[in-house]
Amino acid sequence: MNASDLTAGFNRGVRIAGTGSAVPDRVLSNHDLAKMMDTSDEWIQQRTGIRERRICDPEKGEGTLWLSEQAAALALEDAGLTGADVDLVIVATVTMEMTCPSTAARLAGKLGATPAGAFDITAACCGFMYALNLADSLIRVGRANRILIVGCDCMSSIIDYDDRSVSILFGDAAGSAVLEAVDDPTRGSVYQSLQADGRGWPSLYIPREASQIAAGDEDNPIKLGNLRMNGREVYKFAVTRFQRAIKDAFEKTGLEPDEFGAFICHQSNARIIESAVEKLGLPDEKVYVNIDRYGNSSAGSVGLCLDQMRKAGRIDESKPTMLVAFGGGMTWASSVWRH
Ligand code: ACO
């Protein structure tokens, strides 16, 4: 199916006007973790591909809002715009500092994006993808002309560093993009999926109270208010769903792996990405991997990759880009983006 068939019914499209990203300066390496808990650089690298991750320093005021602001300001600057030029601000996060007001409302206030609408969405590691697909749709139907999206998680604020099973995976980061309307409907997200299966929630969750602990997870020593994960379940789910989401995008668009200019995958575990590359025949050199340096930054990951690839000139804009993620919920989402 060609791009005009996929976007029939729309009379406008979307372009990425600018991107930005931010990570804290503080590095937490595998060697640092090995001094804090019973683990090793070798174990972590072999199982996950992670060498180090960045974590916020709350004493310096670093956190979700701070990271979001850095990334969003860079995205606006890249687009040659100011906050006043956007109609809507969407922040995807599971680490909002307050549930009211939203991170997006506070961010919009800081950026001078008034009276733009502002709200947060929660789709765990799929957050940036959910924001991207939603913003693309709102612009296509004419409800907005320019939308600032941010995927940001300060995972270190919900990690129990006394536990070795979850803490080694995550880092803090934000990725942002400014999306704007263009006349050509074949630009932007020409195919997208947004999906979830809430029955799998106990595999990855943050209970606030003891009554929320999932059956069978009562003996888990991770403290309340922190992320709990059934690593093996998530791994099984991720390998299957991630590959299915990519395959669906190939089938629905009729595009082959080598017709894409770049693959931007959520960075959860290098082995999960390697398995997709191998099983689906993805061109290795077009699949970006930065998990070695940043770990899994949840909603920050896809936007961070997008910005780093764009700025490094690693996105061939003459071809579509595939973006894909999965995460807590369980959720999964994809987008085939024509630049
Ligand atoms: N260091 C050393 N040993 C460890 C560590 C550690 N950090 N963590 C666990 N182990 C031990 C376990 O205790 C276990 O020991 P045992 O055999 O004596 O019981 C052994 O290592 C194997 O543990 P498993 O949990 O089976 O290890 P596995 O091979 O499954 O790897 C991992 C664990 C890396 C977490 C893997 O399951 C994984 O990547 N899962 C997917 C996680 C993921 O992608 N999460 C993000 C989802 S996205 C989102 O929305 C947040």
Strand locations in the chain (E): 13-22, 27-29, 52-54, 88-92, 117-121, 146-154, 172-182, 188-196, 204-205, 228-229, 262-265, 321-327, 331-338
pLDDT tens-place string over residues 286-296: 999 999 999 99
CATH of the domain at 170: 3.40.47.10
Across residues 100-121, what is the average pLDDT?
A: 98
Would you state the pLDDT for residue 89?
Answer: 98
In whole angstroms, how far apart are CA 32 and each of 52, 54, 171?
Answer: 9, 12, 14
Tell me the per-residue pLDDT of 148-181, one tens digit each, with 9 for 90 and over: 999 999 999 999 999 999 999 999 999 999 999 9
Cβ atoms of 49 and 289 closer than 8 Å: yes
> How many A from CA of 262 to the centre of ligand 1?
29
Indicate the range of 1-10, 258-267, 324-333 predicted with least confidence: 1-10
Q: What share of residues in the chain are helix, strand, coil (percent, to 5)?
A: 40, 25, 35
Average pLDDT over residues 261-281: 96
Q: Which of 195, 230, 232 for mutating ligand 1's site (highest number of atoms within 8 Å of CB)?
A: 232
In contact, 176 and 19? CB cutoff 8 Å = yes
pLDDT tens readout for residues 10-53? 999 999 999 999 999 999 999 999 999 999 999 999 999 999 99
Q: 296 an active-site residue?
A: yes
Say how many domains are in the chain.
Answer: 1
Could you tell me the residue range of the domain that residue 305 belongs to? 1-339
% of the chain surpassing 70 pLDDT:
100
Exactly one of 56, 125, 152, 305 is catalytic; which is it? 125
Indicate which atom in ligand 1 lies nearest the CA of residue 167. Answer: 7
Of 41, 170, 234, the one to substitute when testing ligand 1's pocket (max ligand atoms within 8 A of C-beta) is: 234
The overall average pLDDT reported for the chain is 97
Q: Is 31 a catalytic residue?
A: no
Instruction: Select which of 133, 220, 269, 296 is catalytic.
Output: 296
220 is catalytic: no
Instruction: Using the predicted structure, report yes or no on whether residue 1 has a pLDDT greater than 80.
Output: no
**Which of 133, 266, 269, 305 is labelled catalytic?**
266
The model's confidence at residue 5, banded by pLDDT at 50, 70 and 90, is confident
Nearest-CA residue for ligand 1 atom 12 is 165
CB within 8 Å of 218: residues ≥ 6 apart: none
The ligand 1 site (C-beta within 6 Å) comprises 39, 43, 47-48, 124-125, 164-165, 168-169, 204, 229, 231-232, 234-235, 238, 268-269, 296, 298, 327-328
For 309, counting Cβ atoms within 10 Å of its Cβ (0-12 exposed, 13-18 middle, 19+ buried), the class is: buried
